[in-house]
């Protein structure tokens, strides 16, 4: 009997010995875990699309208009399996298509602000059209641009110069090849085209005319002949084929030369591995391929710095070739 009483007395009620602090911590931890599970941290937008590249006393600024995806069928001369093989090699297979950029470039010489091409603005949809805002984000103002050199007049290069009849760069003079200007704006061109191409041609011409209109009115368009070689430090480099009056522009600086190549290439994968590959946008595919082969060989041999409107942003870098048959795109290294 005494033993039973002893056992009873030695029993302790667990509720009386439970530590309140432990209960508080346990509940707090549960609340934090639940809160963390319920909180969503939103993904942030990409930074503004500009990149400054210093060459001696000259600053080149790449401006991103946006990312564009091309249907692989637009590239001619390769089988589907060949295209897939090249894209896989560069980890570039994408359900949306072949990824390209639309870029334009500023050149700050110290006393002039020049521009090469201007992007698509609203001519191709809302996924493009960021150059105007990216220019301002880069630290410059549209009114500071003195001259705009247009490699050719396709809408993704010319539409960005104006907006609803107003010049985006009111103090700039446009420089365009006479051959290019006449091809798109002469009423005789359409007569030479097959009927199935005429409607598309007229649609393109309408966009070009709308973009040029405020500069035409202000008499701020200068066309240069195929016999012209340079304007100041900018050398004119014929690169016909993609369009009849397509030009590249070579800039000589105190430290290095850079060539703004225009649309002699549209893919850093397919057209580097297989440079004889034409693209559907080429008006003269044979001439376009010949131009690419000639210029790629020249730039690779010389180690030429180039700036390209459709290579991955910022589109500045070098062309390398081990065998003179295929090529590789070597982008510039980021510098702060």
Is residue 25 over pLDDT 70? no
Number of neighbours of residue 73 by Cβ within 10 angstroms: 10
Specify the range with the lowest mean pLDDT, choosing from 97-101, 225-229, 288-292, 300-304: 225-229
Write down the pLDDT at residue 29. 54
Same domain, 309 and 266: yes
Residue with tokens 């199935």: 196
6 lies in a domain?
A: yes
User: Do 209 and 141 belong together in one domain?
Assistant: yes
Residues 142 and 265 in one domain: yes
More confident residue, 31 or 164: 164
- pLDDT band at residue 336 under the 50/70/90 scheme: confident
Please tell me whether residues 25 and 166 are part of one structural domain.
no
Does residue 38 lie in a domain region?
Answer: no
What's the pLDDT at 10? 45
Length of the chain equals 336
Q: The pTM is what?
A: 0.88
Does the residue 16 lie in any domain?
yes
Q: Are residues 172 and 294 in the same domain?
A: yes
Rounded to an integer, the average pLDDT of 56-65 is 98
Cα separation, 36 vs 317, in Å, equals 44
Both 70 and 15 in one domain: the answer is: no
224 and 162 in a single domain? The answer is yes
**Residue 20 in domain:** yes
Is 109 in the same domain as 14?
Answer: no
> What integer pLDDT is reported at residue 35 of this predicted model?
56
Measured CA distances, 254 to 236, 239, 261 (Å): 18, 25, 20
**Residue 109 clears pLDDT 50, i.e. is over it:** yes
Contacts for 323 with CB less than 8 Å, ≥ 6 apart: none
pLDDT at residue number 244: 98
Tell me whether residue 40 is in a domain: no
Note whether residue 94 is domain-resident: yes
Span 284-314, pLDDT tens digits = 999 999 999 999 999 999 999 999 999 999 9
| DSSP string for 151-209 | S---HHHHGGGEETTEESSTTPEEEEEHHHHHHHH-TTTGGGS-HHHHHHHHHHHHHHH
- Looking at the 3D structure of the chain, how many domains does it have? 2
Domain that holds residue 6: 2-30
Residue 254 lies in a domain: yes
Q: Has residue 43 been placed in a domain?
A: no
**Average pLDDT of every residue of the chain:** 92
Please check the confidence at residue 102 and state whether its pLDDT lies above 90.
yes
Q: Are residues 13 and 55 in the same domain?
A: no
Categorize the per-residue pLDDT at 23 as very low, low, confident or very high, splitting at 50, 70 and 90: very low
Pair of tokens at residue 199:
């409607």
Same domain, yes or no: 109 and 190: yes
CATH code, domain carrying 227: 3.60.15.10
Same domain? 10 vs 63: no
Instruction: Report the pLDDT value the prediction gives residue 17, as an integer from 0 to 100.
Output: 53
The pLDDT confidence band at residue 329, using thresholds 50, 70 and 90, is very high
Looking at per-residue pLDDT, the higher value among 28 and 146 belongs to 146
Same domain? For 150 and 299 the reply is yes
Q: Is the pLDDT of residue 186 over 90?
A: yes
């Amino acid at each position: 009997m005494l033993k039973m009483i002893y056992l009873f007395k030695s029993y302790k009620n667990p509720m009386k010995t439970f530590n309140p602090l432990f209960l508080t911590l346990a509940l707090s931890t549960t609340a934090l875990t639940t809160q963390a599970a319920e909180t969503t941290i939103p993904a942030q937008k990409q930074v503004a699309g500009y990149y400054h590249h210093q060459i001696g006393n000259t600053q080149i600024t790449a401006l991103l208009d946006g990312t564009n995806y091309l249907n692989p069928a637009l590239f001619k001369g390769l089988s589907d399996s060949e295209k897939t093989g090249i894209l896989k090699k560069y980890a570039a297979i994408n359900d949306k298509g072949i990824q390209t950029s639309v870029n334009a470039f500023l050149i700050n010489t110290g006393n002039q602000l020049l521009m090469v091409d201007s992007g698509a603005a609203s001519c191709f949809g809302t996924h493009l059209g960021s150059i105007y805002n990216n220019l301002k984000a880069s630290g410059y103002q549209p009114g500071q641009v003195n001259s705009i050199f247009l490699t050719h007049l396709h809408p993704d290069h010319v539409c960005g110069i104006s907006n609803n009849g107003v010049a985006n760069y009111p103090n700039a003079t446009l420089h365009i090849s006479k051959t290019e200007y006449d091809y798109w704006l002469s009423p005789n061109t359409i007569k030479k085209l097959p009927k199935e191409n005429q409607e598309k041609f007229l649609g393109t011409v309408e966009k070009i005319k709308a973009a040029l209109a405020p500069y035409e009115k202000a008499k701020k368009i200068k066309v240069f002949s195929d016999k012209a070689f340079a304007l100041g430090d900018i050398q004119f480099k014929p690169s016909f084929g993609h369009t009849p009056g397509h030009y590249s522009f070579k800039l000589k600086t105190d430290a290095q030369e850079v060539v703004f190549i225009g649309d002699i290439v549209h893919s850093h994968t397919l057209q580097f591995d297989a440079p004889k590959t034409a693209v559907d946008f080429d008006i003269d595919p044979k001439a376009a391929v010949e131009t690419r082969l000639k210029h790629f060989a020249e730039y690779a041999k010389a180690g030429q710095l180039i700036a390209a409107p459709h290579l991955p942003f910022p589109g500045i870098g070098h062309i390398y070739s081990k065998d003179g048959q295929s090529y590789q795109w070597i982008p510039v290294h980021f510098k702060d």
